[in-house]
Amino acid sequence: MTTSQIDLAALRGACETHLPGDPGYDAARQAWNLAVDLRPAAVAVPRTVAEVRAAVRAAAGLGLRVAPLSTGHGAGPLDGVPLDDVVLLRLSELTGVTVDPVARRALVVGGTLWADVVAAAAPHGLTALHGSAGDVAVAGYVLGGGLSFYGRRHGVAANSVRALDVVTADGDLVRASAEEHPELFWALRGGGGSFGVVVGIELDLLLYAEVYAGMLLWDRERAPEVVAAWAAWSRSAPDSAGTSLRVMSFPPLPELPPFLSGRDVVVVDGVVLEDDDRAAELLAPLRALAPEVDTFGRIPAAGLLQVHMDPPTPVPAVASHSVLGELDPEAVTALLDQVGPGTRSGLMFAELRHLGGAFARSVDDGGATSSVAGSYALYCCAVAPTPEAAAAGRAAADAVVATMAPWQVPALVPTFTESAAVAGMFATEDARDLARVRHLVDPTGRLVGGRPIG
């Protein structure tokens, strides 16, 4: 039977459902990344765990597959994937956070954003291993490992997860932890959304009420000395310093502050988990380059979500990524030849996120992504308002990644990877184990993760 012959209206009994042609279908299928065009058979928007279970069961009863999605920040790998037999399960209305300040734990409901977790933790002098943007959801981020500015000291965010409540491919509700369904627990922490619909996440919080954080900004003309200085500085920076360097190009837009609008700049930002004197001492070599803007200082830990200046609203974007080892002077020259002064790379930014420290250390009880090899995550991103711009942007991003190939190491950060291919993301043995767990928990392949496993 083709999907058009199936009575999709049966899904409506499970939860709010939008079918093609319904007035709400386009808004419900829209990912945060506006360049991604998802055309599922239906979009289900559950508001309770019971509705998630009912939606999965209804889809199963109709012979349809199910793709969980929280915000669509990481929807890139689903772009172009045929979804005409798939129910897109939007978890954006299934939200909530409870903080246990004594245990320093948060109980996070399936589709909750990091901003809400950070806001709930802050009154207790706590924060979390969140990423740069508050409107990313906890689920997709921790299921892909999760790189936080705190990570050089505290490791990938997936290691802070203590338990996951999961609706399985059959619509059952199970708890995955070190004690219960340990293989599922291992697979979900880094293996992505192919193993179940995550409806609850229990995670450890960090004891930081305030942090020394901010950004330094220079005109791109200064990129040769700034990139060389940051590469040398980051080589010996302690684990307490979690920073990134970006060469960025901003269009002339009235909504941007004047120091960004229409400008090409180089920015170093992040956090230094030290007291003020030691943090200032560590940053001195970068401040000696006389940045035009310097916002580094002690701020409430929740303020770290603003430091990276991620877009406040959805954007159409394409990206390319690799992981690099140490950056010698030739690597700096190669990068500058692509994105330095006088170039027109076509990118919105090329970013080097500093890895190493606790990112590089696997933990005994960790999941499928419990560490990340290499020294820098390279992430090149272009704005893609049209399919033509997306093709050009992807080519531009791929070109920078290709130029840096001599410094590439065999690793990928799942949350930074737009491609659906899992090759290179996991060691051979881990990839085999992920496929085995997938077969155990979802033998008919009902769940459609961004990165297909098994």
Ligand X SMILES: Cc1cc2nc3c(=O)[nH]c(=O)nc-3n(C[C@H](O)[C@H](O)[C@H](O)COP(=O)(O)OP(=O)(O)OC[C@H]3O[C@@H](n4cnc5c(N)ncnc54)[C@H](O)[C@@H]3O)c2cc1C
Residue 105: helix, strand or coil by DSSP?
strand
CB of 221 to ligand X, least distance (A): 27
Amino acid at 268: V
For residue 421, the number of C-alpha atoms closer than 13 Å in the C-beta half-sphere is 6
Binder of ligand X out of 46, 193, 356, 454 (CB under 6 A):
193
Residue 356, by phi and psi: left (phi above 0), alpha (psi -120 to 50) or beta? left
Segment contacting ligand X by CB under 6 A, of 37-45, 65-73, 223-231, 341-349 = 65-73
Q: Is 52 in the site for ligand X (CB under 6 A)?
A: no
Q: Which two tokens stand for residue 391?
A: 């093709």
* 147 is an interface residue for ligand X by CB under 6 A: yes
CA distances from 421 to 40, 136, 285, 414, 426 (A): 21, 22, 40, 10, 11
Choose which of 15, 99, 118, 139 interacts with ligand X (CB under 6 A): 139
Residue from 17, 370, 415, 417 touching ligand X (CB under 6 A): that is: 415
Q: Which is nearer to ligand X, 230 or 334 (CB)?
A: 230
Q: Select the span of 2-10, 43-51, 131-139, 279-287 touching ligand X (CB under 6 A).
A: 131-139
Q: Shortest distance, CB of residue 225 to ligand X, whole angstroms?
A: 26
Could you tell me which stretch among 74-82, 245-253, 259-267, 270-278 binds ligand X (CB under 6 A)?
A: 74-82
Q: Does 352 bind ligand X (CB under 6 A)?
A: no
Q: Is 330 helix (H, G, I), strand (E, B) or coil?
A: helix
Tell whether residue 140 is a contact of ligand X (CB under 6 A): yes
Contact between 404 and ligand X by CB under 6 A: the answer reads no
Helix 182-191 × helix 428-441 angle, to 10°: 120
Query: Is the Cβ of residue 76 or residue 291 nearer to ligand X in the bound state?
Result: 76
Binding of residue 131 to ligand X (CB under 6 A): yes
Among 70, 159, 320, 375, binds ligand X (CB under 6 A): 70
Which of 11, 55, 120, 136 is in the footprint of ligand X by CB under 6 A? 136
Chain-centre distance for alpha carbon 116: 16
Query: Would you say 30 or 240 has its CB closer to ligand X?
Result: 30
Closer residue to ligand X in complex, CB, 229/434: 434
CB count in 10 Å sphere of residue 427: 12
Beta strands 241-249 and 293-294, pairing class? unpaired
The least CB distance from residue 241 to ligand X, in Å, is 16
Residue 151 or 340 with smaller CB distance to ligand X = 151
Minimal distance in Å, beta carbon 273 to ligand X? 16
Candidates 54, 56, 58, 75: give the one binding ligand X (CB under 6 A): 75
Residue closer to ligand X, measured from CB, 214 or 449: 449
Q: Where are the beta strands (DSSP E) in 301-442?
A: 317-324, 349-354, 376-383
Nearest to 87 by CA among 66, 61, 62: 66
Helices (H), 62-157: 114-121, 138-143, 151-154
Task: Kindly tell me which of 268 and 334 has the beta carbon lying closer to ligand X.
Answer: 268
Binding mask 107-126 for ligand X (x = CB under 6 A): ---xx---------------
Size of the site for ligand X (CB under 6 A): 32
Are the beta carbons of 261 and 253 closer than 8 angstroms? yes
Alpha carbons 247 and 263: distance in angstroms, whole number = 11
Query: Which one of 66-74, 204-212, 386-394, 438-446 is the stretch in contact with ligand X (CB under 6 A)?
Result: 66-74
Contact 113, 73 (CB under 8 A): no
CB of 71 to ligand X, least distance (A): 4
CB of 353 to ligand X, least distance (A): 8
For the chain, how are helix, strand and coil distributed in percent, rounded to 5? 35, 25, 40
Distance CA 63, CA 318 (A): 32
The SS3 assignment for 234 reads helix
> Residue 300: phi, psi to the nearest 5?
-55, 140
Any contact of residue 367 with ligand X (CB under 6 A)?
Answer: no
Q: Does 73 bind ligand X (CB under 6 A)?
A: yes
When asked if residue 291 is in the footprint of ligand X (CB under 6 A), the reply is no
Helix (H, G, I), strand (E, B) or coil at 362: coil
Question: What is the Cα–Cα distance from 325 to 308, expressed in whole angstroms?
Answer: 23
Q: Give the binding site for ligand X (CB under 6 A).
A: 68-75, 78, 91, 110-111, 131-133, 136-137, 139-141, 143-144, 146-147, 192-193, 197-198, 310, 415, 449-450
